[in-house]
Amino acid sequence: MTSSDRLWCVQLPSARWFQGKGLTIQAVAVRPFDWYVSAGPVWVRSELAEVVYADHTETYHLLVGYLDAGAGEPAALVGQTVLPGRGLVDVVDAPSSPTAMAAFLATRGYPGGTSSRVFTGEQSNTTVRIGEEVLLKVFRRVEPGRNCESEVMGALAGSGLVPRLMDTLVSPDGTYDLGVFTQYIPGARDGWTYAVAAREAGTGMAPEMAALGTTLRRLHAGLAAAFGSTTVPAAAIGVRLLDHLEAARGQAPELDDVIEPLRRLVGLDGGSVPVQRVHGDFHLGQALLAPTGWYIIDFEGEPLKSAEERAAPDAVWRDVAGLTRSLDYAGAGPAARAAFLDAYCDGDPLPERLLTAYEVDKAVYELVYELRNRPAWADIPRQAIAGAVRTVP
């Protein structure tokens, strides 16, 4: 390993956005792109960290700043290294470093002195507020080709359902989408923050959940118009959900105790199901409640899936189930769930069997994720799984 490789091998597991927590890293290899800025006291570039595990490899985007030794902000400091042409320098995570961000933003046409502030709540990516009108989302786990976020936001431009896409950060060789610059929605708060506050205050949230149901229905209509739709046999969806279940057993052995009723819940047969492009990882945190209504954000899909899987057509009920599961996490209660579902269906019948299959699939996914990343939260999906199992005769 080079000194940079060793530095990031130590640092990556503690990064909030690192998805390999709990896994044994065998090697890390860092590959730099060309410099965005390489003059003066602050140099900035994107780098790719190839993280090798026993059975697979993940690629992470590092937006890295190199400052004079001792100049790195403590909250952004990764370590020190010897940089050719510079000597000993501080290595910083650029999104967390106002100094590095100012130099980087100047290369994108932002005036000197433009402020930046990293959002501490991000997980699978990193979002930076730039001035008063723009957000930069730095993609972290990346794959070659278009990112679902930039692709979908471009397709839905002008719909009023998503923030405006202003620019895309593409790797200097054109191979990777590394981030997006989007409109900042003033006065907005994410749906999770809203729902938790409403629960704690004891106020009802049915009107807001109904509005979110209507917004999601409009979003699905826009995605179908932009990317098309088709139908697949219900049994094909059932096979896919069963595959998810079997894969999860290896990471959550406790599922063995209830595997048969879970198979009955996710196994589907008979008839066909419309499928189309969907959000793929929809939950309360992926919606912004602004004075003007709801906006939907974060179209990258579930973090543990490949880019191909994230973009694959699916039933809209995957997104619906994602939101109902999120309401369960927030402790929102049955009234909020009913208001959301009624508004989403807009008079159409609710396919309860299909929705249940997707909710169970999501809860199993959540259990695996929580066991790996937030063990203290694992009881939430665990209880949902137990409740679903009790409904099986």
Confidence at residue 1, expressed as pLDDT on a 0 to 100 scale = 65
pLDDT digit string, tens, across residues 145-181: 999 999 999 999 999 999 999 999 999 999 999 999 9
Q: How many CA atoms lie within 13 A of 170 on its CB side?
A: 11
Are residues 100 and 237 both part of a single domain? no
Last residue of a domain, one of 140, 165, 183: 183
Across 147-164, b (16+ Cβ under 10 Å) vs e yields: bbbbbbbebbeebebbbb
For the segment 233-267, what is each residue's pLDDT rounded down to a tens digit?
999 999 999 999 999 999 999 999 999 999 999 99
Listed in sequence order, the residues at least 6 apart from 274 whose beta carbon sits closer than 8 Å to its beta carbon are 229, 230, 231, 315, 316
Mean pLDDT of 85-91: 93
What would the mean pLDDT of 38-47 be, rounded to a whole number?
95
Same domain, 163 and 236: no
In the predicted structure, residue 306 carries a pLDDT above the cut 80: no
Q: Sheet holding 293-296: strands in order across? A: 189-190, 287-290, 293-296
Mean pLDDT of 188-206: 95
Cβ atoms of residues 8 and 63 within 8 Å: no
| Alpha-carbon gap, residue 38 to 213, rounded angstroms | 48
d(CA 282, CA 367): 17
Quickly state the pLDDT bin for 121 (edges 50, 70, 90): low
Closest CA to 324 of 313, 312, 309, 335: 335
Considering the domain architecture, whether residues 30 and 172 belong to the same structural domain is answered as: yes
Are 65 and 196 within one domain?
no
227 and 319 housed in the same domain: yes
Handedness of CA 141, 275, 293, 169 (dihedral sign): positive
Q: Are residues 115 and 170 in the same domain?
A: yes
Domain end position, chosen among 140, 161, 183: 183
Residues whose CB falls within 8 Å of the CB of residue 312, separated by 6 or more in sequence, listed in order: none
CATH number of the domain bearing residue 253: 3.90.1200.10
Give mean pLDDT, residues 13-35: 91
197 and 171 in a single domain? The answer is no
Residues 211 and 322 occupy one common structural domain:
yes
Average pLDDT of the chain, as a whole number: 94
Query: Which residue, 155, 183, 211, sits at the end of a domain?
Result: 183
- pLDDT beyond 80 at 305: no
pLDDT band at 311 (very low <50, low <70, confident <90, very high): confident
133 and 236 fall within a common domain: no
Please tell me the pTM assigned to this model.
0.86
Instruction: Verify that 131 and 245 share a domain, yes or no.
Output: no
Expressed as residue numbers, the domain containing 70 is 3-183
CA distance 144 to 307: 9
The percent of residues above 90 in pLDDT, for the chain, comes to 86
Question: Within 13 Å of residue 25, how many CA atoms lie on the same side as its CB?
Answer: 22
Contact call for residues 39 and 56 (beta carbons, < 8 A): no
Q: Which residues of 298-315 are buried (b: 16+ CB within 10 A; e: fewer)?
A: bbbbebeeebeebbebbb
Average pLDDT over residues 354-379: 95
Looking at residues 301-327, what average pLDDT do you find?
A: 89
What whole-number percentage of the chain has pLDDT above 70? 99
CA gyration radius, the chain: 22
Quote the number of domains for the chain: 2
Residue 53 shares a structural domain with residue 117? yes
Same domain, 355 and 375: yes
